[in-house]
Amino acid sequence: MDIKLKDFEGPLDLLLHLVSKYQMDIYDVPITEVIEQYLAYVSTLQAMRLEVTGEYMVMASQLMLIKSRKLLPKVAEVTDLEDDLEQDLLSQIEEYRKFKLLGSIWKPSTKNGPSTIPKRRQS
């Protein structure tokens, strides 16, 4: 039985992959569907007896917290905290996307060896 799983650099890389499949603004993506897909991926890794690092499990617990708060009846005080958790996560994914994009821009320039950026001369 051959099973191929895409390698991810970490939990944010997996989340970015799941979010980017929707081809829309990161803040408009249905977060509960992304959470379901993330948890399914982690379950698949566990079922295949692959070692799941602590980073993935911490992210899974944060996603479960967000999902459980979405399922519970809304309470004014809790809603603010829920929005903060979700917005923080989306901001982290967006920031990770930007760094990954910058990394892909710089990566081709390092194929010929390390490059340096000259220091500005002060006049």
Q: Is 86's pLDDT higher than 50?
A: yes
Q: pLDDT digit string (tens) for 49-65?
A: 777 777 888 888 888 88
Q: pLDDT digit string (tens) for 22-48?
A: 887 877 888 888 888 888 888 887 777
Q: Which two tokens stand for residue 1?
A: 């039985």
Q: Which two tokens stand for residue 12?
A: 């944010």
Quick one: which of 78, 77, 76, 82 has its CA closest to 32? Answer: 82
pLDDT at res. 108? 63
Q: Is 42:60 a contact under the CB 8 Å cutoff?
A: yes
Beta strands in the chain (DSSP E): none
